[in-house]
Amino acid sequence: MQNEFTGPRGPKPRSIFRLSNLIVYGTILLLAIYYLAPLYVMLVTSMKSMAEVRLSNVFALPIKVTFDPWFKAWSSACTGLKCEGLMGGFLNSLFITVPSVIVSIAVASVNGYALANWPYRGANIFFTILIFGAFVPYQLMLYPIVIILRELGVFGDLAGLVIVHSIFGMPILTLIFRNYFSSLPAELFKAARIDGAGFWGIFFKVMIPMSSPILVVAIILQVTGIWNDFLFGIVYTRPEAYPMTVQLNNIVNSTYGEKEYNVNMAATIITGLVPLTIYFISGKLFVRGIAAGAVKG
Amino acid sequence: MSASKRPNFLFQNLASKIASIPMILTATVIFVGCTLWTVAYSFTSSRLLPRWRWVGLDQYERLWNTDRWMISINNLLLYGTLMMIFSLALGFFLAALLDQKIRGENVFRTIFLYPYALSFVVTGLTWQWLLNPDFGIQKLVRDMGWTTFEFAPLTNNEWAIYGVLLAGLWQGSGLVMVLMLAGLRGIDQDVWKAARVDGIPNWKIYLYIVLPMMRPIFVTAVVLVATGIIKIFDLIVAQTDGGPGLSTEVPAKYVYDMMFSSQNLGQGFAASTTMLLVVLVIIIPWSFYEFAGRHNAK
């Protein structure tokens, strides 16, 4: 029993060839198949020609690898009568995600900072409402928000969607920023106060330079969340500004013409590529983002 | 951290108050205001546009007399129960497996969690393809020689919801695993030693000692999974679009369709208010547990 203080703290280590070990590894590998199969199937299907798709089953490797479905999915797959591919949706999602991520994080970090360092009377009441609001099904707020956005003159616009994403990202983001700023040593804040820095001075010169770990977590959380959004996309945008998820659904579930499964799967992968890339690059930080969301402060 | 004392408390921390305006507006206008607005208008006969014409509980009566709504509620109950049981069980099981000091723990954790990074639309479409009767798993097994094999849940009224469950579990169980793994790693090593000295087999330690110790994590997981279940919408739209027939309809989709395609706002409001009631049934006991429990701990 060496290594008691580091590494996994499960049961004692065993030699690799024991029966119980075989069972453990066998079970893990079997389960891994369940989790990996869909990704594998998407990939191989997207690299087959339609003729080959019809002949084989979904798990068969492509005999002749082709990337035509990918090009078609990107630039000429049809949604109904329009055949423009996913490129437009990708750009829309990009234009939606970038400002939404920036605005929602900017707003929430200031909120969290105000709550952690400059509490005022009633601050916690609003914060509690905010956290409980996160559990109210979106369906209750969908329509009134349509009215509000229409009154503000931004319904169907990018600005409207940015507002919506900032609103619904606020509970979780405010929570993680508040917790992070509370965990910083109070002496820092006091020292800055004595040096005469004010609310914004401390925020920009002391807090923000120290918050890169939590900023990365927040960015991961928001980019994947907003990129994967579907509901707000269909409710609050016009068809020409639909995000990628909505366009993907329209392409694949379009009832016009013959189904091109290879193109559909290529389109599906392309849509999943952005969050997947973030997931594989960020690794443990992604897990920390989830944990930050799950384990309340 | 009290700020400098000034005579008027309204202006105390003024910058902080101004900076909090977005949060205050979101909490009051959106989360409270919009929710109450929808609840209020669920008692009106609004159709294409919201109209303040009071009809009492008419919308609710109509709602509970609509087949589609009853099917949606039944589906939500069935899917929700199974999803809750299986994602907790699978999540805990995966976490316990990863806790066995296995080689490549990081690789397996990455594999079990990656679906959680994908959207429900991608999830739904992938599983729609995998469960396709002509090309999917059914075809695979038939190609291997078992020609009468049948596995095409999405084309069968009775089984379609289980096809959705397969996709939902695939997407969501990794999250539970991560939570459970964090919980397992937080268990005091002495507990393991003591149990092993007593000669208790591993599986019994997990089931009877570790599991009860992880109650707070389970509560968190239950709340997270439950809120996810109630919101289920995009997965259904992508994978089955409620079909075949009405067999995979869910409340969130009913609300969306009533509000934005059937021009039957009142029904949508009544249905979403009912969803809120379901959430309250989960949230109220949880918040008592959470906050009362924490109070005692301190």
Nearest CA-CA distance, residue B23 and chain A, Å: 7
Which residue, A193, A173, A125, is CA-closest to B15? A193
| pTM reported for the whole predicted model | 0.87
Q: Which of B173, B9, B63, B128 is nearest to A31 (CA)?
A: B173
- Domain ranges for chain B: 1-41, 59-297
- Which element (helix H / strand E) includes A44? helix A19-46
Same domain, A68 and A92: no
Task: Tell if the CB–CB gap between B119 and A272 is shorter than 8 Å.
Answer: yes
Residue A18 has pLDDT above 80, yes or no: no
Same domain, A133 and A241: yes
Buried b (16+ CB within 10 A) or exposed e, A37-48: bbbebbebbbbb
Render pLDDT for A202-227 as a digit per residue (tens, 0 to 9): 999 989 998 888 898 899 889 989 99
- Same structural domain for residues A180 and A129? yes
Name the residue among A129, A231, A283 with its Cβ closest to that of B32.
A129
Name the domain count of chain A.
2
For residue A111, the chain B residues in CB contact (below 8 A) are: 19-20, 22-23
Structure tokens at A252: 């694949």
Q: Which of B263, B89, B266 is nearest to B169 (CA)?
A: B89
Paired tokens of B247: 């067999």
Interface test with chain A among B9, B46, B101, by most A beta carbons within 10 Å? B101
pLDDT at A3 over 70: no
Q: Which domain holds residue A235?
A: 87-250+268-294
Cα-based distances in Å from B243 to B55, B69, B121, B236, B262: 32, 14, 16, 9, 18
The confidence band for A107, taking pLDDT boundaries of 50, 70 and 90, is very high
* A-chain residues near B256 (CB < 8 A): 139, 142, 231, 235
Residue among A37, A271, A276 whose CB faces B117 most closely: A276
Report if residue A260 sits inside a domain: no
Say whether both A67 and A188 belong to one domain: no
Contact (CB<8Å) A42/B269: no
Task: Give residue B114's identity as a one-letter amino acid code.
Answer: Y
Question: Does some domain include residue A152?
Answer: yes
pLDDT over 90 (residue A61): no
Least confident among A3-7, A104-108, A211-215: A3-7
Is residue A6 one of the residues assigned to a domain? no
Q: Is A257 a member of any domain?
A: no
Measured in angstroms, the CA of A75 and the nearest CA of chain B are apart by 19
| Residue A13 placed within a domain | no
Same domain assignment for residues A141 and A286: yes
| B162, B193 Cβ separation under 8 angstroms | no
Residue with the larger pLDDT of the pair A144 and B14: A144
Judgement on whether residues A113 and A153 belong to the same structural domain of the protein: yes
Alpha carbon A179 to its chain's center:
21
* Nearest in space to A204 (alpha carbons), one of A116, A120, A110, A118: A110
Percentage, residues of chain B above pLDDT 70: 94
**Biggest alpha carbon distance in chain A?**
76
B59-297: which CATH topology?
Answer: MetI-like fold (1.10.3720)
Residue A2 has pLDDT above 60, yes or no: no
The Cα of B155 is separated from the nearest Cα of chain A by a number of Å equal to: 15
Alpha helices (runs of H) in chain B, residue ranges in sequence order: 14-19, 21-25, 35-41, 58-64, 67-98, 105-117, 120-130, 137-143, 160-185, 189-197, 202-204, 211-213, 215-231, 234-239, 251-260, 265-287, 293-297
Q: Which of A79, A104, A124 is the last residue of a domain?
A: A79
Cis peptide before A209 (omega within 30 of 0): no
Q: Residue A132 carries which side chain, given as an amino acid letter?
A: F
A213 assigned to some structural domain: yes
- Any idea what DSSP says for residue B291? I
Do A34 and A139 lie in one domain? The reply is no
Claim to verify: residue A236 and residue A155 sit in the same structural domain: yes
Buried-state track A137-149, b at ≥16 Cβ within 10 A, e below 16: bbbbbbbbbbebb
Considering the domain boundaries, does residue A14 fall inside one? Answer: no
Which of the listed residues A53, A79, A105 is the one where a domain comes to its end?
A79
Q: Does a structural domain hold residue A94?
A: yes
- For position A1, what pLDDT does the model report? 43
Give yes or no: residues A57 and A104 share one domain: no
Residues of B in contact with A139 (CB under 8 A): 252, 255-256, 268, 271-272, 275
**ipTM computed for the complex:** 0.86
